[in-house]
Structure 1
Amino acid sequence: MTSLPWLDPYELWFPPPEQSLDEPDGLLALGGDLSPDRLLLAYRSGIFPWFTDDQPILWWSPDPRCVLFPQDIHISRSLRRTLNKYPFTVSADQDFSGVINRCADLRSEGTWITRDMKDAYTRLHELGFAHSFEARNRAGELVGGLYGVALGRCFFGESMFSVETDASKVLMVYLANQLEAWGFHMMDCQVESRHLLTMGARTIPRAEFLSIIEKQVTEKPIQASWNFRWQWPGDRS
């Protein structure tokens, strides 16, 4: 395997994403730290961390990249029926720790959301960069969630969970429409999955992705606070 650069925790830099490996797809560098400055530089550069407890910090920039443009959110007929029942209440930044902990706990094959990752993203949340989105059922229980990082007019999704049918899908519909209303250009989904593709996500070349974020992370969105204002048509909640 081609030798990868080892990042010094005391030097804030990343190699160009174009130097990522083809196999495993997108692996770019090792080491460094999870400080707010490094994480924010990573997202601005089209890079994200993904590793497990028994590994060093691994940094990735896959090609192609899975993204969702908010206006492209797809609502299937079955999901539309669910939405019409208004089974969930959605919110933003009401339970960041609950969301990130559930995302970690519900991964049956081990988690890349390590204690260090939880601490790092909680710090980003405290600084106003990381945000959580919650779906609660009629009993008030947290049954779906998603968290990620917002920079400029890009939202970089990190992880989601769902313990009731369609909870995460309903949340994705609300989030995509709200991001569009706020003037966000793109939601980064990192790596494609069947679930994301059925919701309207698609893959684009890394070069296109980097070109988008180079412009959009410096643009200011129009939201004043992270509160949902968009509602499913006829939503009476």
Structure 2
Amino acid sequence: MPPQLPWLEPEDPLPPPADAWGPTDPAPGLLAAGGALDAAHLKAAYAQGTFPWYGPGQPILWWAPDPRMVLHVANFRLHRSLRKTLQAFRTNTSCEIRVDHNFRDVITACAAKERDGQAGTWIVPEMVEAYTRLHAAGHAHSVETWVDGQLVGGLYCVALGQAVFGESMFAHATDASKIALAALVSLCRHQGVAMIDCQQNTRHLASLGAHEISRAQFLAHIQNAQNRPALSWLFDPVYWNELLPSTVPMA
């Protein structure tokens, strides 16, 4: 039988990540159920490498997977087609990256997008409200792709100090979410951030250079990174130089 899953009351702290279900249990990485989604609890969860992920009709479920998918920003894979897209985007005066311009629209678009093999979304309305509150508290951010004054793609993430946790992306135009991710990578490189949390392994993330590390390695990283000074959440076009110098090889 699998170990009993802890049930949390709204005021209860999360168990330590090491208590998460293991590889032989029904849901590896599942840590607890219940609790609360207020900004303080979300911040505390991310500080210990834990995040909420659940579907409609389910209680809040908290996860601390092992291994953990991460993107070392130095290893971001800039494929030939994306490189050309970024070069064109950079020089087009009708295209721009905005940060935290319209967080709610970004997370709402992420919640609405269709996902292969999934019925519905894990970004349920309670999650939209919770992360919007976390954004108001200064710990969640959106990186947005704008063309001709229209929001066409973007992503949102959580940040504690220099620990950056990617959440979800959307695109209403070709490569619009990849452009936003490239902008986030550029911003992180420029400000000395080593890695972006990607939570779970997907083929798409792996194609961009993400890979798995152990939960212990991940926790050691975020314990150090979250105690460093917070990032400046502004995007300067000069940040594109982090990805587009002539010396960067094309994959």
TM over 0.5: yes
Runs of 4+ with deviation above 4 angstroms = none
Name the structure 2 match of 1:126.
136
RMSD: 1.7
Residue type of the alignment partner of 1:59? W
Name the structure 1 match of 2:208.
199
CA distance in 1, matches of 2:192, 2:84: 27
List gaps (5 residues or longer) in structure 1. none
CA distance in 2, matches of 1:112, 1:62: 17
List gaps (5 residues or longer) in structure 2. 246-251
Name the structure 2 match of 1:42.
45
Q: TM-score, normalised by structure 1?
A: 0.92
CA-to-partner distance for each residue in 1:88-128, whole Å, 9 max, x for gaps? 42110001011000001113530111111111111111111
**Once the 2 structures are TM-superposed, how far is the Cα of residue 196 of structure 1 from its aligned partner?**
1.1
Name the structure 2 match of 1:14.
14
CA distance in 1, matches of 2:186, 2:75: 10
Q: TM-score, normalised by structure 2?
A: 0.87
Name the structure 1 match of 2:5.
4
Kept in 2, the 8 Å contact 1:149–1:157? The answer is: yes
Kept in 1, the 8 Å contact 2:190–2:239? The answer is: no
> Paired residues, what number?
231
CA-to-partner distance for each residue in 1:67-105, whole Å, 9 max, x for gaps? 112222110011111112116421100010110000011
CA distance in 2, matches of 1:215, 1:62: 19
Residue type of the alignment partner of 2:240? W
Kept in 1, the 8 Å contact 2:69–2:213? The answer is: yes
Q: 2:80 aligns with which of 77, 81, 90?
A: 77
CA-to-partner distance for each residue in 1:118-145, whole Å, 9 max, x for gaps? 11111111111110111122x2221111
| Counterpart check, 1:232 vs 2:240 | yes
CA-to-partner distance for each residue in 1:184-223, whole Å, 9 max, x for gaps? 23211100111111111111011110111111111114x4
Kindly, what percent of the aligned residue pairs are identical?
45
